[in-house]
Structure 1
Amino acid sequence: MSDIMHPISFRKLLNWILQEYKTHQTIFGIPKQKFFQIDKPDRSWHIFDDKCSLPIGPAAGPHTQTTQNIVSAYLTGSRYFELKTVQVLDELEIDKPCIEAENEGYNTEWSTELTVQQAYEEYVKAWFLLHILSEMLNLDAGKPQIIFNMSVGYDLKGIKSAKIDNFIEDLKDASQNAVFQNCHQILSEFIKDDKLPGLDSVDFADSISAQISNSITLSTMHGCPPEEQESICKYLLQEKHLHTYVKLNPTLLGYDFVNSTFQKLGFTEIKLKTETFTHDLQYNDAVAMIEELKKFAKKFDLQFGLKLSNTLPVVNRKKVLPGDEMYMSGNALLALTLN
């Protein structure tokens, strides 16, 4: 297996999907019988000045890093997608393996394995494919009501960089971006060549909105000061005019509560460090920051909210992954998030 991810072109993905569906009645291994269909289009949720037919979907992670994974999530019911976090440092050397999910999920990487440009291309390709599959397979009883939520990190300087700023602006409006235009051109070709069942007019390609995302989730490093988080959120609200969520950490609950919860629920193999909690955002500071940002967002007629929750740093006891610390998700994290 290669250590480097190589994205697949939009044309190849379209051909792959069409051939697999024609031959096996599956897409990326998912059988037609498992495709989720929205049969009541009048039931939708208003989110970020838009509609979402079902506010369920994957959080930022490996499962929203590639086009194929986003498509797979859509086919099985997702309509809200928090895209994998991007940051200005996008050519990192990542030790492998970096993910282990025997029971709880653990990871040691904290950024996309793709460059910012590659990540952008994956999201645009996915945006087109979801609209194509919705129409071709009648999965949404009308125009798909889907939300793409950007995710960026990890400090204000990086988020203000030209690389991340272009990423943000070109998801807000992709109409002048070459990637969007290329997907539009290829889709039009497929329609003209009668390769897409149920799609017989090139007007369909024009109907796909170039406004891919008007919302963003801020991801910061564990231990990021509240002042830094607040300043980033204010920048995203005021300067970028984006509906903004901030991802908070389960360390807000405190070491004693988290440790006792794990013991009560039988997650006794999870080991914590007290400094993980004392060096991170504290509960009272978080409350003050949230109240300030809620008021600030209203000035710009935007929504501010929270994502609960981020991963939890734990001691790397098993040594399956490199390093002394790893980040936990999965069943045990759900128990904390609900509290």
Structure 2
Amino acid sequence: MLDTSANGALRHDWTVDEILALHELPLLELVGRANAAHRACHDPNHLQKASLLSIKTGGCPENCAYCPQSAHHRDVELTRDRLMDPAKVIGMASNAKDAGAERFCMGAAWRQVRDGSDFDAVVEMVAGVRALGMEACVTLGMLKPHQAERLAQAGLTAYNHNLDTSPEFYGKIITTRTYQDRLDTLATVRSYGIELCCGGIIGMGETVRDRASMLQVLATMDPHPESVPINALVPVAGTPLAGRARIDPLELVRMVATARLVMPASIVRLSAGRSSLNREAQILCLVAGANSIFYGDTLLTTPNAGIGEDADLVAAIAAPVRGRETAPKEKPSH
């Protein structure tokens, strides 16, 4: 019988065929097994809320086909912004905390980290966010060992560096950075005790086997990434993938559930593309094993569900409050 890790046991020897077989299970069977694995490793009633801020926007020299921040996509309407002031970023983190966020994520549109005043400012941001009592995550592109060491010393919780897709499909999405470059960055981050936040995007034209292959790369890491964001492509005008149709929400459910089964202890983050899901589809993703959402109106440069909508989502999945006003009325005595 196929081992689905429904008891929460960790494996690091998954094959692509095994993961593909899980992904292709009947949907109710797949979600049921994923929910069992989720409950074995996590509090099913806890949903971590993370806030994401673009601290430096646009002008990236990479040519990622999905990304409006690439300098290669000249028809994208995007305002380029220099690196933000650390005090402003820390203030926005404080506001996010007041709104319920537990984790503050900061993204800079760089190919790689360069030493100097900008990197010094990012280190200051990390220390400031941690001083608020929040988890801090950054995505800055490739980095060198001494830079990872500085981030670790500042208290960085996690470094986001997504694989994006499978090794086989990767060259059709990005040609300015190799898959091995990404793996090397992840290894550098891990060597300094920083948690990994690493996932990918579906809906870019890849096959289902490509999706299984990407998960296989993640699930054979030892240890697994502590955080696995699952993104659905948000097509942006002016990018090479602008004409792609949005995926069926159930494809996202399947991907979340499969990620939960092969990496049962990881935090699975329902990330980009969530704004196109109705409340019920999002809840099905949570049942299937997602236990974190990005909280706020924007994910770097693409729309996200609003805070008001998320408050409604959180209220919908919470235990109903049975107050006096909802108690059944007593029958009048005669």
* Common topology (TM > 0.5): no
Scaled by the length of structure 2, the TM-score of the pair is 0.30
More helix by share: 1
- TM-score scaled to structure 1, two decimals? 0.30
The answer to which structure, 1 or 2, has the higher relative contact order (CA under 8 A, 6+ apart) is: 2
